[in-house]
Amino acid sequence: MSRRNRWQLLLAALLLLIGQMVHAQTCSATPTNINFGNVNPISGAAVSASGSVTVSCNWTLISLAPNAQVCLNLAATTPLSMTNGSNALQYGLYQDAADSIAWGSTSAGTTPISLTIAKPLIGTSANQTVSFYGLIAANQPLVPTVSDSSTVYSQAFSGAQTVLNYAYYTLTPPGCPAITTPATAFPFTASATVVNDCLINAGNLSFGTTGLLSSGINATTSISVTCTNNDAYRIALNGGGSGNVSARTLSPSGGGGTVSYQLYLDAAHSTPWGDGTAGTSMYTGTGTGNAQTATVYGNVPAQTTPAPGNYSDTITATVAF
């Protein structure tokens, strides 16, 4: 064999070896899912969570490029939305705990998460874990639950939405926009559980001042209730000091006689409002995510007038959902 042929074979073998070395150098990414836990829309508060991505890079035993520039691209329509059926819960994913740098993608002209990994002095592989952060936007009171139960909302990222690009280099790291191949996906899921909740606030009811109880006295007040959208609820009123929802009484602070009265669901005073026992009914409704008002109709019927004094009763309103 001629010297020229030997050099050609040697060159071919060297090129093959270099090709195998480059091919053997790869990076991969393993993300965690991000779970926001329980979310209460009527609280109006933002909810934070975090996840992480572990990047692993491998080198050949002898490498001419001891560093790897890794770019984690998240390409998804913003604002991001976790969904359940046609219902949506908006949120964002960020590179920093202050939620100021959105996690983006070079394909969208935004900024991916980038990191540099160096070949270890001993061994041929290295790992690095980077955190990412999620924030559910505040003031989304209309997000509903389904079937009166806690409801899971989620968004799955996969395929072209999660693109891992990397490049091995010697001295100067390439910018993420310059790295086009290779590309692999690192799928993960964002989720949150929207829970049922209600807030209730009741106003006082005053029958005013009177002398004789020779005719009935009417008065009204209101109860404000805010419940998770699509959540069925009911409001019960207890029996107060008498302990009897069908025979409520007003009593003076010093003891003595009492004044009979009743609370109703309607202005016609046909449906006593109680806890569902002793012929009474409860107020029922379905939450909208915003405050709703229920009117309480009070009536003191004509009766024997007791001794003068200030007569009162304390009623507890309870919302069940």
pLDDT, mean of residues 234-252: 98
3-state secondary structure of 261: strand
Q: Any idea which fold 27-194 has? A: Immunoglobulin-like (2.60.40)
* Cα distance between residue 132 and residue 99, in whole Å: 9
* Cα distance between residue 316 and residue 294, in whole Å: 15
* Cα distance between residue 190 and residue 233, in whole Å: 30
Report pLDDT for 24: 77
Report pLDDT for 254: 81
- Per-residue pLDDT band at 19 (split at 50, 70, 90): very low
Q: Is 206 exposed, middle or buried (0-12, 13-18, 19+ CB in 10 A)?
A: exposed
Report pLDDT for 318: 98
Could you tell me the pTM of the whole model?
Answer: 0.87
Instruction: Name the residue ranges covered by the structural domains of the chain.
Output: 27-194, 198-320
Helix spans in the chain (H): 3-24
Question: Residue 180 corresponds to which tokens in the numbers above?
Answer: 């086009």
CATH code at 198-320: 2.60.40.1090
E strand or H helix at 69, and its extent?
strand 67-74
Q: Provide the 8-state DSSP code for 21.
A: H
Percentage of residues of the chain with pLDDT beyond 90 = 90
- Per-residue pLDDT band at 182 (split at 50, 70, 90): confident
Please enumerate in sequence order all residues whose Cβ is within 8 A of that of 164, keeping only pairs 6 or more positions apart, or say none: 27, 28, 29, 55, 70, 71, 72, 73, 183, 184, 185, 186
C-alpha torsion sign, points 285, 287, 34, 49: negative
pLDDT, mean of residues 191-200: 98
Report pLDDT for 12: 39
Closest residue by Cα to residue 27 from 64, 72, 76: 72
Report pLDDT for 1: 56
3-state secondary structure of 83: strand
- Residues 117-159 have pLDDT tens digits of 999 999 999 999 999 999 999 999 999 999 999 999 999 999 9
Report pLDDT for 2: 57
3-state secondary structure of 311: strand
- Length reported for the chain: 321
Closest residue by Cα to residue 29 from 119, 135, 158: 158
- Name the least confident of 1-5, 8-12, 75-79: 8-12
Q: How far is CA 200 from CA 223, 292, 317, in A?
A: 7, 10, 8
Is it true that 27-194 and 198-320 share their CATH fold?
yes
pLDDT at residue 252 above 60?
A: yes
- Name the least confident of 22-26, 226-230, 269-273: 22-26
Q: Which string of DSSP letters, residue by residue, matches 84-147? A: ETTEEEEEEEESSTTS-SB---GGGTSPPEEEEEEPPSSSSEEEEEEEEEEEEPS--TTPBPBT
Report pLDDT for 40: 98
C-alpha torsion sign, points 108, 109, 112, 118: positive
